[in-house]
Structure formats: structure tokens, C-alpha cells
Amino acid sequence: MTSPYSLHARSSTCAARCGEVRTLHGVIQTPIFMPVGTQATVKGMTPENLLDIGAQIILANTYHLFLRPGHELIRQFGGLHRFMNWHKPILTDSGGFQIYSLKELARITEEGATFKSHLDGSTLFLSPEDAVGVQEALGSDIMMCLDTCIPFPATRVEADKATALTARWAKRCRAARKETGQLLFGIVQGGMYPDLRARSVEDMVAIGFDGYALGGLSVGEPTEVMYEMTGRAAALLPHDFPKYVMGVGTPEDLVECVSRGIDMFDCVMPTRNARNGMLFTSQGRLVIKNACYYNDQRPVDEHCGCYTCRNYSRAYLRHLYMAREIMASQLNTIHNLYYFVHLMNGMRQAIIEDRFEMFRKEFYDMREQEVPSI
């Protein structure tokens, strides 16, 4: 299989690397963070906002779009890109994690997942073939195989059974895909068992995909365990294909996983935390509702060039948040996503210049300082 990935540079001191992934709607420069647009929208952001912060690709949610408004309606509009007015690449997940998170409403069998809609309680069914078909209708650039996410903790028997089912489903997804030009990624499972992770990598590579994702991480396990599983699995994946960790994570997680060879990330953290008034800065986290920012004239982060930091003070952002104004979510989200996108840009440039370890040290040195307050 021809890979959509091209390697541009790698660190001489760790597994960090940068490159590009070619898709139907453009080339993605890696390492990359993908803002999450669950329901064909990144909460608090217009497509123009996303372009302004430098977003290259966004993630949309197959499960939610399958339920509402329905993939057939989106197909009538020519796919997600036209439907939501976003003309750069889109990745759609398969719905596996959402079914896992709604496990009280779902039943997993060999055939697929039977689940109750969280909207109206109706019973629905999603097979591996259905998951691919829905994503083809959505017209995403990168589709994900349907998988079975493993909780933490899980017994070895539970993890083994779910990992084997993920492999069988992956074969069915691969067989069901049509020649649309869309990329299809396989998902490595295995829980927190290194040998099961290794077997899952072997299974996915044997089937053959356009890229490989690590699933079932950041589901409650200790951070050091997540890093260990990521590093072990990433080292086993073919170096000439893109490597993606799903649902990760904090700025620290991004730096550590890039150092272990990961190319692609997504997480709801920057948008969700923005709506809750928690802002990411070069010196750590800032909670804008704190009284110390009542009359603070400085921007959120004096090292940041985002629209929010160029135009608004901490005092104003605190006022908006305390008054529950909609604009608080928008301005906070612009800042948080800009921070994440430009953190990845900084890592990419550091890899090109072979100074990633210096970047990593400076990243942590800045965090040892407190976010200054009045």
C-alpha cells in the first residue's frame, strides 16, 4: 500500500519527527493537533476563526452526525466540507469511543454495536461496514475503523477479547471501503498490556491501512502508563505511515507523545476548558474567574499572538465569563486552540532544526514559573 505520509525531518535525540500527510482536501503538516468539531462545528468557533488560528484539519464525530442530522442529509449537500463551509481536511472517528462511553445504552456483538440513541432512546445498529459507509457519505478525508475501546482497568481476558474483536472488525472495514480517495486508518488496541498492544500492531499492519491510530489511551490510566504504551506501540508501527494517538491530551501529553514518535492528536480539552474558563498559557493554566484578574490589564499570555491576547485584557475576559456572556466562550476558545496549534508549530520547527530536546526543556522550565497575577 502506498503511504500518504512523507518524512521531512527527525530528531537526533529521540523519536520526534515531522512530515506531511496528503489528503483529498490538502496536505497536513505534522506533528498536528486537530480541533474537535463533534457535530460539524468546533464549539465557539467559525471556520474563519479556525483559519485565522492556523488550524489545518478538524475532527468530526461519526456517531453524533449519524444520529443528527443524518449522513444521508449531509451526502445531499455534497459532504461535510460543503455542509459546514470548511474546505480543509476533516477526520471522522468511527463512533467506537462514543459507543464505549455510552456503554449502559450499548451491546457489543460480533456483528457490531446495538445502542440506544442518547437523543430519543431509539434502538440503532452500527456494523463495521456501516461505520465506513457513513464516513464515506460524510466525505471525510480520513476515516477510522470501528473498534472496541477497552476501559481501565480491564482484566487481561477482557482486553484480549476486545482486541481480537477490533482486529476482526478492522478486516471488515478494510474490505468494505470503496475507492473514493478517502484515507482509512486502523486502530491499535490492547489495553495496558504490552504484548496485546504488540499483537494488535501486527494485526493492523498485516491488514494494511493508510495510517495507524492508538486507541484506548487516556481512559483513566496513570500518565506514565499512557506514555509507556504510546512509546512501545509507536516504535512498532511502520515508520513510513502516519501515527495518531486518539483523544490526547494536555500540552504536556503532546510534547511527550511527539517525543515518542506520534504525528497526530485530537482532544476536546482546549475547547471544553475554554468554556469552563480555564486558559492555557506558556507558563501553565490560568483560571479566568479568579478574583485576582478583576482589574488585570494584561493579556492572557504575554507570549501569545492570538486575536484574544492582541485585543483583550484578563479583566475583560473575566467580566465576560462572570456575566455568562456567549463571547466569553468564543474568545477563550480562540486563545486555547491558538495555543495548541502553535505549540505543535513550535515542535515542528524544533524538529526541523534538530533542537527538540532544547524545546522540551524550555517548555517545562516555563511551567516551573507561576502564572503571574496582580
Question: Any idea where the domains of the chain sit in the sequence?
Answer: 5-267, 274-367
Task: Tell me what the mean pLDDT of segment 353-372 comes to.
Answer: 88
Which phi and psi (to 5°) does residue 370 adopt?
A: -80, 150
> Which residues on adjacent β-strands are paired with residue 21?
5, 28
Per-residue pLDDT, averaged over 106-122, amounts to 90
End-to-end CA distance of the chain: 58
Question: Whose CA is closest to 187, among 195, 171, 374, 316?
Answer: 171
Average pLDDT over residues 68-92: 98
pLDDT of 77 strictly over 90? yes
Q: Which of 93, 130, 147, 210 is catalytic?
A: 93
Query: Phi/psi of residue 193, each to 5°?
Result: -110, 110
Residue type at 347?
M
- The DSSP string of 272-314 is HHHHTTEEEETTEEEETTSGGGTT--S-S-TT--SHHHHH--H
> In the annotation, is 266 catalytic?
yes
Mean pLDDT of the chain: 96
Label residue 323 exposed, middle or buried (CB < 10 Å: 0-12, 13-18, 19+): exposed
Segment holding 245, helix H or strand E: strand 243-245
Ramachandran angles phi, psi of 192, nearest 5°: -105, 30
Q: How far is CA 364 from the centre of its chain?
A: 23
pLDDT score of 117: 87
Segment 205-223 shows an average pLDDT of: 97
Catalytic residue (choose from 263, 266, 296, 301): 266
Quick one: pLDDT at residue 374?
41
Q: What tens digit of pLDDT does each residue of 117-152 get?
A: 888 989 999 999 999 999 999 999 999 999 999 999
Over range 302-328, report the average pLDDT. Answer: 98
What pLDDT, on a 0 to 100 scale, did the predictor assign at position 309?
98
Return d(Cα 150, Cα 155) in angstroms, integer: 10
Active site residue 93: yes
In angstroms, the CA 163 to CA 201 distance is 10
34 HSE (CA, 13 A, CB side): 28
Question: pLDDT tens, 156-181?
Answer: 999 999 999 999 999 999 999 999 99
**For residue 218, how far is the Cα from the chain centroid?**
12
* Alpha helices in the chain, H assignment, sequence order: 47-53, 62-67, 71-76, 80-84, 96-101, 128-138, 156-176, 194-207, 223-236, 251-259, 269-275, 307-311, 314-322, 326-352, 356-367
Place 71 in a pLDDT band, splitting at 50, 70 and 90: very high
Residue showing cell 478486516: 171
pLDDT of residue 371: 55
**3-state DSSP percent of the chain in helix, strand and coil, to 5:** 45, 20, 35
CA-based Rg of the chain, rounded to a whole angstrom?
20
| Bridge partners, 58 (sequence order) | 90
CB 93 within 8 Å of CB 61: yes
Query: Is the confidence at residue 370, as pLDDT, over 60?
Result: no
Q: Give the bridge partners for 33, in sequence order.
A: 265
- Does residue 165 or residue 99 have the better pLDDT? 165
User: Residue-wise over 148-170: b if at least 16 C-beta within 10 A, else e?
Assistant: bbbbbebeeeebbebbbbbbebb
| pLDDT computed for residue 231 by the predictor | 98
Report the pLDDT averaged over residues 204-210: 98
CATH 3.90.850.10 corresponds to the domain 5-267? no
Inform me whether the pLDDT recorded for 49 exceeds 90: yes
Residue count of the chain = 374
> How confident is the model over 206-235, as a mean pLDDT?
97
